Amino acid sequence: MVGRRPLIAGNWKMHKTPAEAREWCAGFRTRLPSFPPGVDVVVCPPFTALEPVSTALRGHPSWVAAQTISDQPSGPYTGEISASMVFSCGARGTILGHSERRAMGETDEMVAARVRVALDAGLRPIICIGESLAERESGVTTEVLTAQLESILAVVHENEVDRIVIAYEPIWAIGTGRTATPEMAQVAVADIRIAAAARLDASRLRILYGGSVTPATARELLVSPDIDGALVGGASLDPESFAMIVEAAG
Ligand code: PEP
C-alpha cells in the first residue's frame, strides 16, 4: 500500500441503539485513545446512532460514516435519508452499494447515482463491489468486478480519486465466517486496481477487503500489497476486537 493510508471501517449494520452505541464509543476510546500513525478509522453506525456516535467520538481521531444515503436531496421519499441529513449528524462519509442493499434491489446505476450525490455533498464514499459464490465458481469474478467498478468510476472525476474508497467484498464471505484467503483477496484487489487504471490514477485508489475479517485474520490480509485496509462487519460490534483489527493495520 505504498503511499496509501490504511483505512479500517466498522459496519455496524442494523445493530445498536443510541445508548449501546455510546457505550461502544466509551469502550473504544478507552481501549484505543490513539492509533498507529497514518491509519484512518471509520465507524458506520445506523442512522439513529450517527449523531450520538459523532458526539461520543468528538476529539478522537476516528470519523463517522453512514451505511447508505438516498440519491435524492429531499422530497416525497418515505423512509429515505439524504446526504445532507447524515452530514448534519456528523457523518463525513458513507458506505454505498453494500451487497445486503444490492440484494434488496439496488442496481449498479442506483449505486453510481448515490456515489455522485455523496461526493457533491462532501461525503467520502466507501463503495462495495463483489461477486457471488456462483459467479466465482463460474470463473467470471474479474468480469463481474470490472462491470461494477466501471459503472462507479463513470461518475467519479479523476481528481476525486483520493476521496473515494472501494471495498472488495465477496458476497460469499460476508457474515459467513468464510474469509477469502489472503491470496484470493490480493488477486481480486489487484484486478480491481488494474481495471481502475483505465479511468484514473489507480496507484492512489484505496481498496479495502471485507468479508468475515477478524482479529485472527486481519494481519495476514492487510500485509497484501494491494489491500489498503478492511471493511469489518460482525467483528466491529465489539470495541476490543475492532481495536485489535485497527492495530493490525499499523
Ligand atoms: C460487511 O458488512 O461489510 C462485512 C464484511 O461483514 P462481516 O465482516 O460480518 O462479514
The predicted structure's pLDDT at residue 152: 98
Q: Which of 35-44, 84-93, 233-242 has the lowest mean pLDDT?
A: 35-44
167-192 pLDDT, tens per residue?
999 999 999 999 999 999 999 999 99
The predicted structure's pLDDT at residue 64: 98
For residue 37, pLDDT over 80 is answered with no
Mutate to test the pocket of ligand 1, among 217, 232, 236, 238 (most ligand atoms within 8 A of CB): 232
96-114 pLDDT, tens per residue?
999 999 999 999 999 999 9
Ligand 1: distance of its center to the CA of 189 in Å? 17
Q: Is 98 a catalytic residue?
A: yes
Ligand 1: distance of its center to the CA of 220 in Å? 17
- Domain of 211: which CATH number? 3.20.20.70
Whether 45 maps to a domain, the answer reads yes
Whether 226 maps to a domain, the answer reads yes
Nearest CA to ligand 1 atom 7: 233
Whether 151 maps to a domain, the answer reads yes
The predicted structure's pLDDT at residue 209: 98
For residue 19, pLDDT over 60 is answered with yes
Whether 106 maps to a domain, the answer reads yes
Whether 170 maps to a domain, the answer reads yes
Whether 239 maps to a domain, the answer reads yes
Cβ of 90 less than 6 Å from ligand 1: no
Nearest CA to ligand 1 atom 3: 233
Mutate to test the pocket of ligand 1, among 231, 242, 245 (most ligand atoms within 8 A of CB): 231
- 36 falls in which pLDDT band (50, 70, 90)? confident
- 1 falls in which pLDDT band (50, 70, 90)? low
Ligand 1: distance of its center to the CA of 20 in Å? 20
User: What average pLDDT does the segment 77-87 reach?
Assistant: 98
Mutate to test the pocket of ligand 1, among 98, 104, 178, 212 (most ligand atoms within 8 A of CB): 212
Whether 2 maps to a domain, the answer reads no
For residue 117, pLDDT over 60 is answered with yes
Domain count, the chain: 1
Percent of the chain with pLDDT over 90: 96
Whether 1 maps to a domain, the answer reads no
For residue 160, pLDDT over 90 is answered with yes
3-state secondary structure the chain: CCCCCCEEEEECCCCCCHHHHHHHHHHHHHHCCCCCCCCEEEEECCHHHHHHHHHHCCCCCCEEEECCCCCCCCCCCCCCCCHHHHHHCCCCEEEECCHHHHCCCCCHHHHHHHHHHHHHCCCEEEEEECCCHHHHHCCCHHHHHHHHHHHHHCCCCHHHHHHCEEEECCHHHCCCCCCCCHHHHHHHHHHHHHHHCCCCCHHHCEEEEECCCCHHHHHHHHCCCCCCEEEECHHHCCHHHHHHHHHHCC
Q: Which domain holds residue 114?
A: 7-248
